[in-house]
Amino acid sequence: MLDKPETWVAVGFLLFICLVLYLKVPKLITSALDDRAEKISNELKEAKLLREEAHTLLNDFQKKQKEAEKVSENLIANAEKIAKDYIKESKEKLNETLDRRKKLAEEKIKRAEADAIKEIQNMAIDIAVNATSKSLSNNINNETNSKLVENAINNLNKIS
C-alpha cells in the first residue's frame, strides 16, 4: 500500500486539507467573501441613495423649469400688454397732435381769410377813395371846395 502512488496522493491530499483547515483558510475565504459581499451591498445602498437623490433633483429641476416657464409666460403676457398699452397711448397722442395741428391750421386759414378780406376791403376803399377824389377833383371847383372845407370845419366844431 505504501508503494502505490495513489496512496501518497491521498495522504498528500489529506495533509493539504488538514493544513488548509489548520490555517483556517475556509474562514479567511468566507470572511473575504463576506467583506466583499458587504462592500457590494454598501455600494448598492449608496447607488440606491444616489439614484433617489438624482430622482429628487430631477423632480426639483422639472418643477423649477415649469415655474420658470410660467414666469416667462407671465413676462411675455405683461410685455404684450405693455406694448398694446403703449401702442394705444401712442395712437391717442398722435390723434391729439393731429387734432391740435388741424385746429391750428384751420385757425391760420381763418386768420388768412380775415386778413385777405381786410386787405381786399382796404384795397376797395383805396380804389373808391382814389376814384372819388379823381371824380371830385374833376367836378369840384375852388368855390365848392371852399364850401366843403367850411362845412367840415363847422362839423368839427360841433363835435368838439
pLDDT, residue 61, reads 96
**H or E, element range at 114:** helix 25-139
Say yes or no to pLDDT of 137 above 80: no
Counting Cα atoms < 13 Å in the Cβ hemisphere of 104 gives 6
Tens of pLDDT, residue by residue over 110-121, are: 999 999 988 888
pLDDT, residue 140, reads 65
Distance, in Å, from the CA atom of 139 to the CA atom of 123, rounded to the nearest integer, reads: 24
pLDDT, residue 51, reads 96
pTM over 0.95: no
Asked if the structure places residue 150 within a domain, the reply is: no
Asked if the structure places residue 156 within a domain, the reply is: no
Percent of the chain with pLDDT over 90: 52
Is 140 exposed, middle or buried, given 0-12, 13-18 or 19+ CB atoms closer than 10 A?
middle
Distance spanning both ends of the chain, measured CA to CA: 184
Distance, in Å, from the CA atom of 120 to the CA atom of 114, rounded to the nearest integer, reads: 10
Asked if the structure places residue 103 within a domain, the reply is: yes
Counted domains in the chain: 1
CA angle (150, 152, 156) in 5-degree steps = 115
Arithmetic mean of pLDDT, 94-106: 95
Domain limits at 21? Answer: 5-140
Asked if the structure places residue 82 within a domain, the reply is: yes
Tens of pLDDT, residue by residue over 7-57, are: 888 888 888 888 877 878 788 888 899 999 999 999 999 999 999 999 999
pLDDT, residue 157, reads 67
pLDDT, residue 147, reads 76
pLDDT, residue 19, reads 81
Asked if the structure places residue 151 within a domain, the reply is: no
Provide the angle, in degrees to the nearest 10, between the axes of the packed helices 5-22 and 25-139: 60
Those residues whose C-beta lies under 8 Å from the C-beta of residue 13, and which sit 6 or more positions away, are none
Asked if the structure places residue 9 within a domain, the reply is: yes
